[in-house]
Amino acid sequence: MGLLEKIYDKSPVFFQNLMVSISGYQRNMSRYGKVYYQHLKFLSEFDKWSIEKKLDFQLKELVKFIKYAVDHSKFYSKLYEGIDINSISSLEDLKKLPVVDKEMLRKNIDDVFTIPHKGSVEGHTGGTTGKSLVVLFTPEDMMKRMAMLDHFKARVGFEHRKMKRATFNGKHIIPPNQVKKVFWRYNAACKQMIYSSFHLTEENIKYYVESLNKFKPLAIDGFFMSICDIAGYIERHNIELKFTPVAIFPTSETLTDSGRQLLERVFKCKVYDQYASSEGAPFVTECKDQELHMELTSGIFEHFEYGSNEVIVTSFTTHGTPLIRYRIGDSILLSDKKNQCKCGLEAPVVKEIQGRKLDFLYTAEGAKINGGNVANLFKNMPNALIRAQTIQDKIDEITIKLEADRELYKAEYDDLLKDEFIHKFGKGTKIRIEHVDEIPREKSGKFRMIKNNVKVL
């Protein structure tokens, strides 16, 4: 645990709010500069282009990005030896390049990087396989990604940083020893109330609802299951809401039809889905008519093999850690609809995002820790971690199996994991860490990061 975290955990709530806001203002500096505003303006213009003009732009960006990777990344320069990069003149030509996966990047990450750590924006991913990866973004790329997210929200009426929002995420905002029933902190930099997704028990949810009614956010975003838990409680207890959001923007987990219907019924607004990733995948977003579209300015999606919905991605906003034909492990089902949606946006339509799962674990008190938060247990782990699996057979105990690179993994990394675990699951839930040579896959060939064998509570 770092010094700032120790100070935070021992400070009163009002000072924690101040620290959260200061951190928010610091992040704003790396996210909302000149490039952000330029790209935001460009995206508004791009929406009006024809599909032919958009695809031509996408191809030019692809060619430019591949040449950049070869010139600046030792990994890609070596990987593409013997391949005539100049012969790539269509999206079909992308198949001339080999596919890369997370393990390839992890093992060669220093050669993959095109920029130094200093001055970069660092990203972490635990991922659905529990394999850690640290990536570097240029400040310009991060600003473009923020512009894409804010443009997506602006299309349906929400203006980020101008309107209040409630966020349910995996931030460590509640100290393990806190007694007060205050499970949220305020980030003044973004007019954002951040709610802990680790304390959503039946006993505590009433406090969350009271806070939401007092704060009156115009958007709710974050973990889908956490927002559904709030909505289910409101409906079960017939609680009157004193606000109506413009929209709800779930992240990190696959939406279900029943969950979407619950949220729209309770909060009386539309739910808009999105897809991206911590390592920088291209974007898929929902339009005002709730149709999913590929965002062609952000990159390219290909199917990994014929007949499969698994995608490989090439992202134009990953100059620090280039992702070219990257096997991300997610599946996207394309629609047979034409590029023209009734919303007027000409872009490929996606029928379904299939990659994110709704697996979860319990705390000893019965709160659900969703898949996004479980994956985040490993996101700050060094690149020595190959794969991790969490197993729960008893309500008060969780076993974590680690498959690690033994030459790189250090004993103190276990302490990092234990500290993350306590902040997410509390001190009442026991943790057992087992180091194994290999974590077996299921009979289907799929890997499960979460195995919850506890009878549903």
CATH superfamily for 60-147+278-353 is ANL, N-terminal domain (3.40.50.12780)
Q: Which of 135-149, 247-261, 364-378 shows the highest mean pLDDT? A: 135-149
Please report the pLDDT score of residue 338 as a whole number.
64
Q: What pTM did the predictor assign? A: 0.85
Same fold, 60-147+278-353 and 360-452: no
Computed over every residue of the chain, the mean pLDDT equals 91
User: If pLDDT is split at 50, 70 and 90, which confidence band does 456 have?
Assistant: low
Reported CATH class of domain 3-31+157-271: alpha beta
- Judge whether residue 43 has pLDDT over 60: yes
- Position 126 pLDDT exceeds 90: no
Domain boundaries, given as residue ranges, for the chain: 3-31+157-271, 60-147+278-353, 360-452
Q: Which two tokens stand for residue 352?
A: 């379904």
The architecture CATH gives domain 360-452: 2-Layer Sandwich (3.30)
pLDDT exceeds 80 at position 415: yes
